[in-house]
Amino acid sequence: MTIFAGILTRHKDKTIPGSFTNELRALISRHPDDKNTVIEFIDNGIYLAKVDIGALKQPGSFSTKELTAFVAGDPLYQAGPSMPGSRAESLQNLALDLAAGKLDTLHACRGTYCAVIYEHAEGRLHLVTDKLGVRPVYYWVLPDFIIFSTALRILEALSFQVKSLNLQGIAEIACFNYPLSDRTPYENIFSLYAGETVCFTGEKINRQRYWQWDKQPMNAENSSINSAEHLHATFIDSVKIRLQGQKTVAAFLSGGLDSRAIVGALKNLDVEVVTSNFAPAGSQDQAFGQLAADKLGTHHTHLQKGKQDERDPYHKLSVNKWINSENYAARNLPKPHVIWSGDGGSVGLGHVYLNPDIIQASRKKDMEKAKKEFFAYNNWGISTKLLKPKIALTLINLLNEGIQSELDSIHLGDPSRIFYLFLMLNDQRRHMFNHFENIDLGRVEFELPFFDSNFIAEIIKLPIDPFLHHVSYMEWLSYFPKAVLEVPWQAYPGHIPCPLPQLEGLTYQWNSSTEETRQNKLHALKYVKELCRNSTFSHQYLNLFYLRLWIILMRFGQSDRSYLLQTPRILYRYWSKVVPNNKNRI
């Protein structure tokens, strides 16, 4: 399955109104091809709906007289050294174990997935997500019902229940682009945490963390193994178990190293690889991606980005257009519905948001200094100047409370990895949000070997210091085919630079051009007009004096102050989704 959703009654005397199921059925997918393919399970007090775009080919459902189960993604259940079983076998083991109150299968799953299991006789519902929580499940706790979905947009669009804003979640989104912990922008709508299962039986809700990263072995300083070689072997294994015997696959190939490592691993396994790149013409990203494709021997294409749309951040619509084009067909290659992606590599292995000052302060348990260094290094914060003072103060206080609460929830013998786990359990857990949120439209799944739970577990075992600035990353890459490091790559600012000669006249990803700055300002000024047209929002929440001053500075000043619009933009985005109910106010 690709998407699932459902409603569970919390009281035996309650039934699910037909209007509720009709609306959920209509919302589960926005793609016309799915209109008549929604598969449902309906029983007393439960409604389940699922849609499968067919990307993973193997069935994502399992049912007996006793239970019904759906999975999105692939659990990759690996009980021993042999290859994982099929997606259907993984789900069957997972469902039977959970129904029996066992966690063994969950512990042995390496994949990116989420699942729902319903026990018929007991009326018991289980929701579960992978060890990193990358594949999301959301659930809405109401007095009479539990409503759940793999896409938050489905719960947002339901009209038969009133939503309320969660200001703490909104403050966190304004700062990080994602909420922390199990929060969403809405009260009583929660996201499963990493390695969590939630069980609903009547009015009871039982949440259980079956996998806790801060309880895993860490800092194997005296290990006799070569850590880089061992990490390389674990990564290659994560690629092999996802290949499942395929001989031709599709992958993104940028000018960076994460996607190049994946393509290098695939080519070393004798796999034919079709690659694509969305980088702007004349950029390092595009030029180095082409050089890597030539060196590694892939079928490479530069794709044009479609119109900027938050529902399609990976430009999957352009990918679909490409694989259905005459040019692609002329190559006589199989059409992929799964794209291998380097997401997760820069943070999970590269530790890009960390530096020695953050690590040293954490190790000394000087958390105030560590937090200060962490936020300064990454230029994270919340911009509230354009909001009324009372709202601004509320958001700042809630943000600080949320950050501290999340740090306090991570318990480590050696605190040097506390911010690494903070990032993995929040930033990386939410990293693929837009992809899964809009997978009904994009029609493409991703293979994500950097999120393999065994690979992350091996990283966590090792001392953190060598990972900073990509030092361990580069040693790890030395075990890949030589071609991976024989052409230039686009390095992160402040990390180990590329030692190879750089091509002249190419733009660098982290440098904004004058034209990009101009476009940012124009876009921001256009968006402000939309905010101001809504008099209810602008008069209640915006500091109109500062807003007018901001408009003048943006129009006639040289600096780009569009970042000040971030918090009002996030607030308005979610406020506009609850206000039509006419019962919600901040």
pLDDT in tens, 378-417: 999 999 999 999 999 999 999 999 999 999 999 999 899 9
What confidence category does residue 329 fall into, taking pLDDT thresholds of 50, 70 and 90?
A: confident
**Bridge partners (DSSP) listed for residue 68:** 63, 118
What confidence category does residue 220 fall into, taking pLDDT thresholds of 50, 70 and 90?
A: low
Place of tokens 């890459």: 477
Give the amino acid at 547: L
Cα–Cα distance for residue pair 173/166, rounded to 1 Å:
11
Helix axes 544-556, 514-533, angle to 10 degrees: 150
Q: What is the pLDDT of residue 439?
A: 95
Q: What is the pLDDT of residue 486?
A: 97
pLDDT at 586 over 50: no
What confidence category does residue 582 fall into, taking pLDDT thresholds of 50, 70 and 90?
A: very low
Q: What is the pLDDT of residue 580?
A: 64
Per-residue pLDDT averaged across 162-177, rounded? 97
Q: What is the pLDDT of residue 330?
A: 81
Q: What is the pLDDT of residue 221?
A: 55
- Do the Cβ atoms of 532 and 543 come closer than 8 Å? no
Model's pTM, two decimal places?
Answer: 0.95
Per-residue pLDDT averaged across 205-211, rounded? 98
Residue 43: exposed, middle, or buried by beta-carbon count in 10 A (0-12, 13-18, 19+)? Answer: exposed
> Could you report how far apart the first and last alpha carbons of the chain are, in Å?
37
Q: What is the pLDDT of residue 309?
A: 67
- What is the helix (H) or strand (E) element at residue 242, kind and residue range? helix 227-243
> Counting runs of H as helices and runs of E as strands, what totals does the chain give?
23, 17
Q: What is the pLDDT of residue 171?
A: 98
Higher pLDDT, 510 or 74: 74
What are 462-519's pLDDT values in tens digits?
999 999 999 999 999 999 999 999 999 999 999 999 999 988 889 887 776 677 788 8
Torsion on CA atoms 55, 58, 64, 66, rounded to nearest 10: -50
Q: What is the pLDDT of residue 287?
A: 96
**What is the rounded average pLDDT for all residues in the chain?**
93
Higher pLDDT, 22 or 217: 22
Q: What is the pLDDT of residue 584?
A: 34
Per-residue pLDDT averaged across 11-37, rounded? 94
Domains and CATH numbers, the chain: 3-211 (3.60.20.10), 227-347+431-485 (3.40.50.620), 350-428 (no CATH), 514-581 (no CATH)
Q: Say if strands 272-277 and 299-302 run parallel, antiparallel, or are unpaired.
A: parallel
Report which DSSP code applies to 420.
H
Q: What share of the chain is helix, strand, coil (3-state, %, to 5)?
A: 45, 15, 40
What confidence category does residue 80 fall into, taking pLDDT thresholds of 50, 70 and 90?
A: confident
Q: What is the pLDDT of residue 223?
A: 57
Per-residue pLDDT averaged across 337-351, rounded? 96
Q: What is the pLDDT of residue 318?
A: 80
CA angle 384, 389, 390 (to 5 degrees): 110
Q: What is the pLDDT of residue 308?
A: 60
What confidence category does residue 583 fall into, taking pLDDT thresholds of 50, 70 and 90?
A: very low
What are 411-460's pLDDT values in tens digits?
999 899 999 999 999 999 999 999 999 999 999 999 999 999 999 999 99
